Amino acid sequence: MSQAQLGEKLFISPQAVGKWERGESVPDIIMLNKLAKILGVDLNYFSDNSEPADVVESNTETEVLEVEVAGKPVSKPVKRTTPSWNMSMGNWTDADFSGLKNLGEKFSSSNIERCRFVGSEMAGILFKNNNIQQCDFSDSDFTDSQFQNSNLVKNNFTNSHLNQGQLNASFFSQCDFSNADLSGLSAKSSGFEKCVFTGSRLTGISFTYTYFGEITFEGNIEYCSFRKVIFQNVKLSNVFFKGNRLKRIKFIDCQADRLTYEFLKSGKADLSGIQLIS
């Protein structure tokens, strides 16, 4: 494909394509997404083989290699760079970022709708001031990630790892966390409404000023910390609150099966807002 042909498909000049080839400039992330579709590759192709300065920030690591100087072995430090994407200040719709790696720490002040991030590596990433709707994050790694001042609606987090993550002033509505690992998660001034937690791992979580509305919990909630937490219109089925301080939970119009009810009773929880169901 000639520069002119590629430029025509991208609605840019052949000279702009020529600058990319000579390394004089680099395409932005939106143009990279178009290039990936035209060339039949995924975005990792560009991440693994190039280091465009305004799209990629390099994380530098030092590796010690053994080399020979005048026939004698000498240790020589060599710097390696790992590219990471900066996807802030964007408007992302209907894009497929599945399997994307090295997202780094920045994905803020963006509108993200109907995008796929299946199996992506997002450990340590910061989502700040984002609106995220109808995206598929299934099988992705969010270990040590942060969600701050973000609104998330109808997103799929099934089989994802959100362990040791932090939620601050963020609201999750109609999100699916089935079989997700949420162990060690810290949630403060956040909310969950009409979300699914079937088969989720809920161990060692800290909930502070957190709201749960119209949710069904099935499974164990073990060694979690609750402080001024509200459960409203929540159904608790076979839930084992182990090692929890239940006096700090307020239940409003909730339902619980016999097993869960007895666990709450033994933990001296206020049962006035819970209806026992068979």
pLDDT tens profile 161-204: 999 999 999 999 999 999 999 999 999 989 999 998 888 888 88
Q: How confident is the model at residue 69 (pLDDT cuts 50, 70, 90)?
A: low
Determine the average pLDDT of the residues in 143-154: 94
Which residues, at least 6 apart from 34, have a Cβ–Cβ distance to it below 8 Å?
A: 10
- The SS3 of residue 6 is helix
Which pLDDT value is given to residue 52? 37
Which pLDDT value is given to residue 25? 80
Decide which of 271 and 20 is more confident. Answer: 271
The residues of the chain that CATH labels 2.160.20 are 85-277
> Could you tell me which CATH number the domain at 3-55 has?
1.10.260.40
* Owner of token pair 């006035």: 272
The residues of the chain that CATH labels 1.10.260.40 are 3-55
CATH 1.10.1070 correct for 85-277: no
Which pLDDT value is given to residue 243? 63
- Whether residue 153 contacts residue 174, with contact meaning beta carbons closer than 8 Å, is answered with yes
Instruction: Please give the Cα distance from 115 to 235 (Å, whole number).
Output: 31
Q: Exposed e or buried b for every residue in 33-72, given b needs 16+ CB within 10 A?
A: bebbeeeeebbbebbeeeebeebbbeeeeeeeeeeeeeee
Decide which of 209 and 278 is more confident. Answer: 209
Decide which of 99 and 223 is more confident. Answer: 99
**189, exposed or middle or buried, with CB in 10 Å at 0-12, 13-18, 19+?**
middle
Q: Mean pLDDT across the chain, nearest whole number?
A: 81
Would you say the pTM of this structure is higher than 0.75?
no
Q: What is the torsional sign of CA 122, 95, 29, 126?
A: negative
Instruction: Please give the Cα distance from 146 to 188 (Å, whole number).
Output: 11
Structure-block tokens of residue 71: 């026939």
Structure-block tokens of residue 200: 């989720």
Which pLDDT value is given to residue 234? 85
Q: Give bridge partners of residue 76 from the DSSP assignment.
A: 65
Q: Give bridge partners of residue 82 from the DSSP assignment.
A: 59
